[in-house]
Chains A and B, each alone.
Chain A
Amino acid sequence: MSSPHPPPPPPRRCAVIRGLSPMVEMPKRRDILAIVLIVLPWTLLITVWHQSAITPLLTIRKACHHLVKEIFIIPERLAARRHRLADDGAEGRHETGQGSDSKEYCSSDKDIVEVVRTEYVYTRPPPWSDVLPTIHVVTPTYSRPVQKAELTRLANTFLHVPNLHWILVEDAQRRTPLVSRLLRETGLNYTHLNVETPRNYKLRGDARDPRIPRGTMQRNLALRWLRETFSPNSTQPGIVYFADDDNTYSLELFEEMRSTRKVSVWPVAFVGGLRYESPKVNAAGKVYGWKTVFDPHRPFAIDMAGFAVNLRLILYKPQAYFKLRGVKGGYQESSLLRELVTLNDLEPKAANCTKILVWHTRTEKPVLVNEGKKGFTDPNVEI
């Protein structure tokens, strides 16, 4: 039983330090001193925190499952040089050296704008994170004059994306030194494959024969490689994206696709003879159709650059490949997607498919008239 004590006296200045009644003048000053001492640490804290909020070079939007992560990227001199992902299927990589400092906070928001505080490390990919899902980008490529240029600027884009694994598949009998050298020099995490499309499937010159889709065999080889390298039971999450080497990708796109659970979709500019093609999203956030002019009744009226698939789905459905023969123009994407997912399962990204984050640009074929029959320029100079 607690002994009764007198009710708290009315708030008078001297009430705080009752027992020190001899010092009647001092309590006033003591009061102030006490209040100052209480407030001071908090103001200091607030100002210092405020000042240390340095403008980020990159802001990455990430859908965390109730987690917010702050990644402090280590400066250049501490970062280890990145190595190519081993062909024997090593999943993910670990930081050598200091590693990244990370703190986790719980938050109720699902989509959180994450500030990646970085001292920018020029020309190197961001350090590997153990938490972010890996984006496996499958790019088929073939030899032509603009190939090195296309791959160079694509690499410049990919060097900004954390946890990116580039699977470059050449349409060639063997891996060319041009591509091998380029991949090595970028410092990106890559896998270099090759498969030659048999002559009767290749596009002849500029002949627009829509029955023979280019890059199909290369993409299928990449899918097979993924299935051979990763097991369905592995915990390393991954996303598979098919990126052609002449398109243009914004950095935001990669962060949008990172949260794919099954298959996510978004609009693509300059396809289908329109400014952009996009999935139709209803008020409930579900895809119910396709906003296209060219054959909108295709099962998946979407461009190759307009969707991404969760790696686990690829691994669980090992029979799903792009159809090689007898595919009508524009149906190639459907040939893969219909084996993986239904319309209902599609996840719309890019603000419910209202923002353009990828452009289906095409590079002009350069007219090399002045080369003549024998070639005017030194063939040893690589372009």
Chain B
Amino acid sequence: MRLRFKLKTVFILYFTVSLLGLIYALMHLGKLHSLQGHTKKEPTKPHLPTIYVITPTYARLVQKAELTRLSQTFLHVPQLHWIVVEDSSQRTDLVSHFLEHSGLVFTHLHIPTPQDRKLQEGDPNWLKPRGVEQRNEGLRWLRENIWAGETAEGVVYFADDDNTYSLQLFEEMRWTQRVSVWPVGLVGGMRYEGPVVEQGRVVRFHTGWRPSRPFPLDMAGFATSLRLVLRNPEARFDGNSPMGFVESSFLQGLVTMEELEPKAEMCTKVLVWHTRTEKPKMKREEALQAQGLGSDSKVEV
């Protein structure tokens, strides 16, 4: 008799304790869930257009550093999809690992630049346009993977990995209907270069170099709506165009100057800068490597 009593009590006690524990845990989790569930929707508002950022990149010493600080900026921008296109015949480990740990929504593509289009050692930067094949590859991926049937709400922006972007820029470009434009700092040999706006329309371009170009803009100075990109499958960058005309080769078929949407307070504010990073001097490294004493190459820089 006593045995039965003991066991029964034990069972009842056990059930009560575990039930209480479960209820407590569920309540706690429920609290978390409602918190998460509620706010998880907020950053990913279904009607917030996605910004597709296409970044061509290539292997060099400062690559990881550039991508790191770029990702730190992008992490602040909601609904951003980063399309990184490597100038390489295969995906490199450095970029793959980096993107996986970046915390961003990304697509990792690669396409090598043909040898004759590549800059050789000692060539000045402006000799051949860079990143053309990579940007076209990004466009191709978008056209193949984003269906026009969906509410193709989005913006396509070409962001080089060494420029500097303010967070406000992305909110300015997000609602682009066709092509939006804004000034870019530190480019074209000037403090800034950009469209001149009168009565809400772009009337001409303020630039120090070849203002007769159809679109004397820098790559970082415009964004195209996804709809326009998808509806014009032939629009791409022409690597054979003369210096400074690469942007025009893309925009010419898409939009006229009158249709451009000026942003950044009617193009009076600079929200993006065409910074360039110095190539680090490796004289000592090269000297060491000649002696076979270079710094550990297993350490990723």
Interface residues of B in 256-290 (CB under 8 A from A): 268-270, 273-278, 280-285, 287-288
B139 to chain A, nearest CB (A): 26
B147 within 8 A of A: no
Q: Are A119 and B301 CB-contacts (below 8 A) given A72-B35, A157-B69, A361-B278?
A: no
Question: 1/0 per position for B40-78, CB-CB distance to A under 8 A?
Answer: 101100000000000000000110111011001101111
Within 8 A of A (CB), among B160-195: 164-167, 183, 185-192
Tell me, yes or no, whether B15 is within 8 Å of chain A by CB: yes
Contact mask A148-170 → B, CB, 8 Å, 1/0? 11101100110110000000000
How far is it, in angstroms, between the C-alpha of A382 and the C-alpha of B287 when the chains are bound?
43
In the complex the two chains form, is A150's CB within 8 Å of B164's CB? yes
Contacts between chains A and B (CB distance < 8 A), count = 210
Contact check, A364 vs B42: say whether CB atoms are below 8 A apart. no
Is the CB–CB distance between A356 and B39 below 8 Å? no
- From B3, B268, B269, B288, residue with most partner A Cβ within 10 Å: B3
Chain B nearest CB from A378 CB (Å) reads 8
Interface core residue of B40, B268, B285 (most chain A CB under 10 Å): B285
- A17–B186 alpha-carbon span in the complex (Å): 86
Chain B residue at smallest Cβ distance from A372: B208
Interface pair B22/A54, CB less than 8 Å apart: no
Contact A251 B4 (CB under 8 A): no
Establish whether residues A368 and B300, one from each chain, have CB atoms under 8 Å apart when the complex forms.
Answer: no
CB distance from B74 to the nearest CB of A (A): 9
Q: Chain A residues with Cβ under 8 A from B2's Cβ?
A: 5
From A45, A122, A156, A269, B301 is in contact (CB under 8 Å) with A269
The residue in chain B whose Cβ has the minimal distance to the Cβ of A292 is B284
| A275 and B273 form a contact (CB under 8 A) | no
Question: For window 48-77 of chain A, which residues contact chain B by CB distance below 8 Å?
Answer: 48-49, 52, 54, 57-58, 72, 75-77
Q: Please give, as numbers and ranges, the residues of chain A lying within 8 Å of B299 by CB-CB distance.
A: 267, 275-276, 354-356
Does A291 belong to the interface (CB within 8 Å)?
yes
The answer to whether B75 touches A160 (Cβ under 8 A) is: yes
Q: Which of B25-33, B127-135, B232-240, B243-251 contacts A (4 or more CB under 8 A)?
A: B25-33
Near B by CB (< 8 A), chain A positions 368-383 give 368-371, 375-377, 381-383
- A41, A42, A156, A371: the one within 8 Å of B189 (CB): A371
Chain B residues positioned under 8 Å from A362 (CB to CB): 277-278, 280
The answer to whether the Cβ of A113 comes within 8 Å of any Cβ in the partner chain is no
CA A21 – CA B2 in complex, angstroms? 15
Among B29, B188, B206, which residue has its beta carbon within 8 angstroms of that of A49?
Answer: B29
Nearest-CB residue, chain B, relative to A267: B299
Neighbour of A45 across the interface among B25, B68, B270, CB < 8 A: B25
Please tell me which one of the listed residues A38, A77, A160, A359 contacts residue B14 in the complex, with CB atoms under 8 A apart: A38
User: Considering the complex, which residues of chain A in the window 274-288 have a beta carbon less than 8 Å from any beta carbon of chain B?
Assistant: 274-276, 278
A32 to B278, CA, bound (A): 73
Residues of A within 8 A of B65 (CB): 248, 269-270, 359, 361
A363 interfacial by beta-carbon distance below 8 Å? yes
- For B21, what are the chain A residues with a Cβ–Cβ distance below 8 Å? 41, 45
Q: How far is the CB of B279 from chain A (nearest CB, A)?
A: 9
CB of A306, distance to nearest CB on chain B (Å)? 14
Instruction: Determine the interface band of chain A, counting residues with CB < 8 A from chain B.
Output: 35 or more
Q: A52-B29, A54-B36, A377-B191 are in contact. Are A146 and B268 (CB under 8 A)?
A: no
Which interface class (under 10, 10 to 19, 20 to 34, 35 or more) fits B?
A: 35 or more
Give A20 to B1 CA distance when docked, in angstroms: 10
Are the CB atoms of B185 and A48 closer together than 8 Å? Answer: no
Q: A19-B1, A359-B65 are in contact. Are A41 and B164 (CB under 8 A)?
A: no
Chain B residues positioned under 8 Å from A92 (CB to CB): none
Residues of A within 8 A of B189 (CB): 367-371
Inter-subunit contact B285/A149 (CB<8 Å): no
Is B62 a contact partner of A361 (Cβ separation < 8 A)?
A: yes
Contact with B along A13-44 (1 / 0, CB 8 A): 00011111000000000000010011001101
Contacts A119-B43, A367-B189 given; indicate if A157 touches B22 (C-beta within 8 A): no
Residue pair B76, A270 in contact (C-beta under 8 Å):
no
Q: Is A316 interfacial (CB 8 A cutoff)?
A: no
Q: How far is the CA of A304 from the CA of B287 in the complex (A)?
A: 24
Q: Are B22 and A45 in contact (CB under 8 A)?
A: yes
A66 to B15, CA, bound (A): 33
Can you report 15 A-B residue pairs in the complex whose CB atoms are below 8 A from each other?
A20-B4, A75-B38, A76-B39, A122-B76, A122-B77, A122-B78, A153-B73, A274-B295, A294-B284, A356-B64, A368-B186, A371-B191, A376-B190, A377-B206, A381-B192
The 8 closest A-B pairs by CB, nearest first: A370-B208, A273-B284, A75-B39, A370-B189, A149-B273, A359-B65, A270-B280, A19-B4
